[in-house]
Structures are given as C-alpha cells and as structure tokens.
C-alpha cells in the first residue's frame, strides 16, 4: 500500500485531548464552587429561620407572663431546645405608654445572635408591645 492509499485514522491529537481535559476540569471546579456556596447559603437561611422560631417562642412566653413577671425579666435568655448553644438571646424593655406616672405598656425587643459557618456574626430581632392588662388576665 502506498501512502496515498492509506486512510487517515480518526481520533484526537494529544493537544486536543489536553484542551478537552482542561475545559472539563474548569467545569468541575466551577460546579464544586457553586455547590459549596449554595450549601453555605442554605445553612445561613436555616439558621435565620431557626432564630425567628426562637424569637417567636420567647415572645409568646413573655406574653403569657404577669405584669410583675414582665417587669422583672432578665437581660438575657437561652432557648431550652438549643442543645448546641448556637443562639444567644437578649431582652430589652422600654416604657411605651404610661398612666399616672406608671408604665402600662412596655416595648419588649428580643435579639438573637449567632455565628454562621463563615464565622460572621448574625442578628435577628423581634419587638412587641406588652401591656399591664395583657393576655394573662384573659387566660388565667
């Protein structure tokens, strides 16, 4: 057989195979980076949602207290269901309305703080008004 009669075998050259491998590597690295970022974002969303639940539960507990108990609330709180101690909570009260020099309505602001996976400190707040003639007079 002469050279002209031989058909050229189909296939990739070494350079083409290396370029294809590099492109595939870049795609895989990009997918892994996006997956990692998505996981961190999802984790942050879950912690934020859980902090909202902690705040709502504590506020419901406060609404059921008597007025004297509300007046003597500690400055900090913890969630009994937070076994890993992720969240730290704070309570701030300020007079909102008064009658004859006595506070009848107080603004209660709850704050929950936690650190995400990146170590950034995050905060969530919830405020509500609590009155001296609150829910406790209707329930108990």
The predicted model scores a pTM of 0.73
- The three-state DSSP-derived secondary structure of the chain is CCCCCCCCCCCCCHHHHHHHHHHHHHHHHHHHHHHHHHHHHHHHHHHHHHHHHHHHHHHHHHHCCCHHHHHCCCCEECCCCCCCCCCEEEEEEEEEEEECCEEEEEEEEEEEEEECCCCCEEEEEEEEEEECCCCHHHHC
Is the model more confident about 133 or about 7? Answer: 133
Whether residue 137 is predicted with pLDDT greater than 80 in this model: the reply is no
pLDDT confidence of 136, banded at 50, 70, 90? Answer: low
pLDDT digit string, tens, across residues 19-63: 999 999 999 999 999 998 899 999 999 999 999 999 999 999 998
Q: What pLDDT score does 53 carry? A: 95
């Amino acid at each position: 057989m002469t050279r002209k009669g031989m058909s050229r075998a189909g296939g990739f050259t070494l350079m083409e195979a290396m370029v294809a491998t590099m492109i595939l590597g870049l795609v895989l690295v990009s997918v892994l980076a996006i997956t990692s970022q998505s996981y961190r974002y999802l984790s942050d969303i879950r912690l934020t949602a859980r902090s909202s639940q902690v705040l709502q539960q504590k506020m419901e507990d406060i609404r059921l207290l008597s007025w004297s108990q509300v007046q003597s609330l500690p400055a900090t709180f913890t969630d009994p269901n937070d076994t890993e101690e992720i969240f730290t909570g704070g309570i701030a009260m300020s007079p909102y309305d008064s009658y004859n020099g006595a506070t009848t309505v107080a603004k209660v602001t709850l704050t929950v703080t936690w650190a995400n996976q990146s170590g950034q400190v995050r905060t969530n707040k919830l405020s509500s008004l609590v009155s001296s003639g609150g829910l406790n007079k209707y329930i108990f």
